[in-house]
Amino acid sequence: MLQILSLKKTVIVLISLVISCLFVFSKLLAFNPTPVPITQSCTFFKWFDPNTNDEEGRTFLKNCSSCHMTYYKEWINDKHSMSQNNPFFLSVYSGTTTENLKSNVYPGFRLDHPEQNGNCALCHNPEAALLDTSKDVDIRTVKNTNGISCDFCHKIESIDQNPLKKGISGINIVRAIKGKRFISNIQDLELADPTNWKGFKDIRFGPIKDPLEIKEISDVEELRYNSLYKTSLICAKCHDGLNGNVPIYSTFTEWANSPAARRGVQCQHCHMPPRNNANSIVDNPDIKSKLRPYHQIHSHSFLTEDPHELRKKYVDLKIETKKQNGILTVKIVVENNNFGHSFPTGSPMRNAILLLEVKNKDGKELSLIKGPKLPNYAGNLRQKPGKLFAKILEETSSEYAVLSGKSKEGIEFRKIAKDLGIPAQDWWNVFIASDRRIKPNSSDVSIYQFTVGASRDLPLQPVTITAKLFWRNTWPALAKIKHVELKEDLLIERHLTL
């Protein structure tokens, strides 16, 4: 059995070798038969596969992981690699649950707009969007893309200055180069005279000014320094997004107005720090590499190996109390010392909760007489003393729902969403009803009052105060409907006994 297997492998490798030799020969002899379709003609005009454990990748050094295994391992565990098939994303796009992509479960972009593909692919599946001139594709039917892949990010040549162009429509991709001539997209290639393909090289841009030549593939590959990779601009087009003129995603703008931007601190500083103990970009012992100082080699785990540690790194919580006339006053300060952007940021589903509990010596919760309570969006914690930090979208007019919603159920869902604890969806006709997220280098102050003494004259009872700050990936009610795990990350917990 084993022998048969290895025989099969050898045969596959041999056949592949023969094919590639033929290819090389045809190039050497400048023998140019009828043009082959671009996507199959040569490795360097289609997206490179980042994947590993693929015989072809190892043998022909076609995969990024063949030479950059450490980068690959970080990327494959990061959400950029999953963006095209992230079940939560697909369930919101299609209007299904995460495990049954055929069910009909609101909310869903495609349930509201059965005849439109939408612009989600611009950021969530840019490789697929590039294949289509209208840049609008049905994400559910796309096959064989690798999310936001190594090759995709490393073919970004420049960024369009027009702030309205989002995702891939504002990103200039260069696929190949011949001398000084750049070929940017598949359409250009198809128009180009096939006899001119000869001599074109696949290109990879990066932040290294003096990259080594990759001898083994130098006839088909070129590495090129591009200062863009050191700046937040390379992240801008996907981390800022509007619906009409309503900023749904605003991380880049938050950064652009932050103390970090004023000090020249870029996204990469926090999200791609130098990788500890690394001394080479290449980890394939058969490929010539160079010893490099650690600060030239950057992590590709965008939320670091430990997202919990990153999230709590810049937040703080302080409690101040006062007991007077039978009343306990609690003042809570939540600080966002992250000078890069608001806390929380990213998808408008991200939210953070400050929860306050005051108990007497019997463990009974004292009731709040004055101060903020958590809204419906906090799910099981609604009505408890505390605060929700989030950007809340609301629909401008339910008339729109009636006009644009195709189905009765869709309109019904819009009417009850708020009561269920789910704010308006990104693609509805929305406005920002409130944005209580904490701005970079700012803090939020909230004040609560509880009765602790039966009357002014009686001695005060002892109380324990517990304040918690946690981050949530989404709304509990939405998680339940979509069958998604509600990720709750407890960042700070403080106790005080008086």
Cα angle value 430/436/440 (rounded, 5°): 115
Could you tell me the two tokens for 48?
């490179």
Residue 382 contacts ligand HEC per CB under 6 A: no
CB 358 within 8 A of CB 464: yes
Residue 96 contacts ligand HEC per CB under 6 A: no
Residue 128 contacts ligand HEC per CB under 6 A: no
What's the closest the beta carbon of residue 242 comes to ligand HEC, in angstroms? 8
Closer residue to ligand HEC in complex, CB, 146/332: 146
Residues whose CB falls within 8 Å of the CB of residue 79, separated by 6 or more in sequence, listed in order: 86, 302, 303
Q: Which residue is nearest to ligand HEC (CB)?
A: 346
Q: Which of residues 163-182 bind ligand HEC (CB under 6 A)?
A: 166-167
What's the closest the beta carbon of residue 325 comes to ligand HEC, in angstroms? 39
Determine the size of the site formed for ligand HEC (CB under 6 A): 95
Closer residue to ligand HEC in complex, CB, 95/385: 95
What's the closest the beta carbon of residue 319 comes to ligand HEC, in angstroms? 22
Residue 443 contacts ligand HEC per CB under 6 A: no
What's the closest the beta carbon of residue 487 comes to ligand HEC, in angstroms? 8
Q: Which of residues 226-265 bind ligand HEC (CB under 6 A)?
A: 229-230, 232, 234-235, 238-239, 241, 249, 251-252, 255, 260, 265
Q: Are strands 221-225 and 201-206 parallel, antiparallel or unpaired?
A: parallel
Name which of 168, 77, 62 is nearest 124 in CA terms.
168
Residues whose CB falls within 8 Å of the CB of residue 454, separated by 6 or more in sequence, listed in order: 326
C-alpha count within 13 angstroms, C-beta hemisphere, residue 258? 27
Name which of 219, 214, 256, 208 is nearest 42 in CA terms.
219
Residue 391 contacts ligand HEC per CB under 6 A: no
When binding is defined by CB under 6 A, the residue of 111, 174, 203, 282 that contacts ligand HEC is 282
Q: How far is the C-alpha of 315 from the C-alpha of 494, rounded, in Å?
A: 13
Could you tell me the two tokens for 351?
């939210």
What's the alpha-carbon Rg for the chain, to the nearest Å? 27
Closer residue to ligand HEC in complex, CB, 76/319: 76
- Listed ranges 287-295, 394-402, 449-457, 462-470: which one lies at the site for ligand HEC (CB under 6 A): 287-295
Closer residue to ligand HEC in complex, CB, 93/377: 93
CA–chain centroid gap for 176, Å, is 27
